[in-house]
Amino acid sequence: MDKPINRRQWLTRMGTSGVAGGLALAGADSAAANPLTKPSSFQSSIIAESEVMANRASPSIVDGKVIQPARELSVLHETDVLVVGGGPAGICAAIAAKRAGADVTLVERYGHFGGLWTGGLVLLIIGHIVEGKKQVCQGIGEEMMRRLDKLDGAIVDRRAGVAPTVDAEAVKYLMVEMIEEAGVKVFLHCWGVDAVVNGNDVKGAVFESKSGRQVVLAKNVIDATGDGDLLAAAGAEYQRRSHNVGLVSRIGNLDRVDHKRAKGARKPKHLGRHTPVPGVNWVNMHGPEVDGLDVEVLTRMEMNHRKFIWRNMQKTRSTPGYEKVYLVETAPQLGVRMTRVLKGVKTVTLDDLRKKTTFPDSIGVGGSSAGDHQQWQIPYGTLVPEKVDNLLAAGRCISAEMRMGDLVRLIPNCFVTGQAAGVAGAVAVNDGCRVRDVDIDKVRKILRRQEAYLG
Ligand SMILES: Cc1cc2nc3c(=O)[nH]c(=O)nc-3n(C[C@H](O)[C@H](O)[C@H](O)COP(=O)(O)OP(=O)(O)OC[C@H]3O[C@@H](n4cnc5c(N)ncnc54)[C@H](O)[C@@H]3O)c2cc1C
């Protein structure tokens, strides 16, 4: 039997023999599946013979226009609070709402949780700690940090005043654990494409998946898509912004750089920052300022960035001493920083940060450990659309003026607004009111009970 290997040895083997391993597996697969040589060890059955998709309503071309006919949509599920998007904000929203007593459903377009934090490989948690030991992001975000601390190889730099760095796989694992513990109903691989709206009232959302176009009905909906997909579909007003779109990558074997050989040679560019995995760095990328909602732009960014990263790695490897450095992976998810921002009942402003404005409806405190350690209170109204009802925004798409965008979108601040949206959604359900009318003192009390810091 093979001797057990540690994570480091495993990563090293993947780096040096990943291709060979892949070929060997492919060979075994095809041999097992060849009916001429032996019966397959795989299992496969026919689910339906000669199936034709039922209830199709394919668009047709009428007078040169593509027209989609009206059709009834099947209801996949009914819930109290529907959270769309399983990134930092959505995970906190779902757990907080469930802990506050609501029946909660979380829907995510990809196959994993974490959003840009994991799929985008944004591993550095800026803003978790401000002013030395004073930490403004508490609650579920801090609970995640504490739990990551207990996992081997999951987080580094958990010291006061230092921004911690996580391992994306550890975060994905932890999020599954926490969502399951909380008892949140989950649908992955479901892309939110529309809102169900009666008048001004949001009643649920429409999703596309391999199961077709289906609906989840809800008493209220939290838009944690980052891009404000649901708030836009529901008719809420928003500001559309361009921002830098990059692609993060991880590179390995940095602990095998031959510093004697590298002496005198020009140090390669873009070597990134350390991660919990020894010898592996994550490499951030600014990228150009573009519209992150334009599918042609997104396509170009994916292709250009991947070419750039690969070619840059070839340059690095041709530098004396750096021959063993390799590209571990490019992030599966493009680094879209900012697109739609809600026009809310209230807005996070730089003036309020400078004046240290306090709000009676503060649902949390935002912070940044970058630069001069800023902090600001976040009023509940920044999550509430001006007109549309039963909908809240959470995360990077909350109502924030342009100058505050780069602070508001930091991961811990998304934890904070996510948790607050979840609690408010649950309170609205329990009290049978609209989310804009929730008893904010009750929301704040529950948030405190959930160990959130409100300033
Ligand atoms: C390149 C880059 C570098 C960054 N660096 C840092 C840093 O160093 N430190 C830091 O703190 N922050 C950093 N950030 C910012 C931070 O990563 C994000 O702002 C934060 O992850 C936003 O969290 P969120 O939950 O609001 O949205 P996201 O992380 O975008 O999560 C949204 C989730 O919703 C899902 N979703 C989207 N649309 C739909 C839909 N229609 N239907 C269903 N699901 C949907 C997505 O798949 C995703 O899981 C960086 C961002 C980028 C892009």
Q: How confident is the model at residue 3 (pLDDT cuts 50, 70, 90)?
A: low
Q: Is the pLDDT of residue 227 over 80?
A: yes
Give nearest CA residue, ligand 1 atom 41. Answer: 192
Band of the pLDDT at 371, cuts 50, 70, 90?
low
Output DSSP code: residue 117: G
Which among 122, 69, 144, 451 is positioned nearest to 275, based on CA atoms? 122
Confidence of residue 162 (pLDDT cuts 50, 70, 90): confident
DSSP-derived secondary structure for 48-81: -SS---TT----EEETTEEEPPP-PPEEEEEEEE
pLDDT at 402: 96
Is the pLDDT confidence value at 128 over 50? yes
Closest Cα to residue 365, out of 141, 117, 93, 138?
Answer: 138
pLDDT at 161 over 90: no
Greater pLDDT, 199 or 36: 199
Residue-wise pLDDT tens digits, 7-54: 555 545 544 444 444 444 545 666 566 778 777 788 889 999 999 988
Interval between CA 245 and ligand 1 midpoint (Å): 12
The answer, yes or no, to whether any atom of ligand 1 lies below 6 A from the CB of 421, is no
In whole angstroms, give the CA distance from residue 153 to residue 148: 9
Is residue 108 in contact with ligand 1, taking CB distance under 6 Å? yes
**Distance from Cα 112 to the centre of ligand 1, integer Å:** 13
69-106 residue pLDDT tens: 999 999 999 999 999 999 999 999 999 999 999 999 99
Cα gap 131→159, rounded to integer Å? 13
109 CB near ligand 1 (under 6 Å): yes
User: Which atom of ligand 1 lies closest to the CA of 107?
Assistant: 43
| Per-residue pLDDT tens digits for 317-354 | 999 999 999 999 999 999 999 999 999 999 999 999 99
Measured from the CB, is residue 248 less than 6 Å from ligand 1? yes
CB atoms within 10 A of CB 227: 21
Q: At what angle do helices 88-99 and 411-431 cross, to 10 degrees?
A: 30
Please give the distance, rounded to the nearest whole angstrom, from the Cα atom of residue 142 to the centre of ligand 1: 18
- Ligand 1 close to Cβ of residue 409 (< 6 A): yes
Mean local confidence (pLDDT), 102-122? 98
In short, whether 229's Cβ falls inside 6 Å of ligand 1 is yes
Q: What is the mean pLDDT of residues 312-319?
A: 97
Closest CA to 362 of 298, 440, 301, 259: 440
226 pLDDT more than 90? yes
- What residues form DSSP beta bridges with 392? 222
Q: How far is the CA of 117 from the centre of ligand 1 (A)?
A: 6
Q: How far is CA 300 from the centre of its chain?
A: 22
pTM of the model: 0.93
Among 116, 155, 193, 399, residue to substitute to test ligand 1 (most atoms within 8 Å of Cβ): 116
Instruction: Work out the pLDDT band at 4, boundaries 50, 70, 90.
Output: low
Asked whether 292 lines ligand 1 (CB < 6 A), one says: no
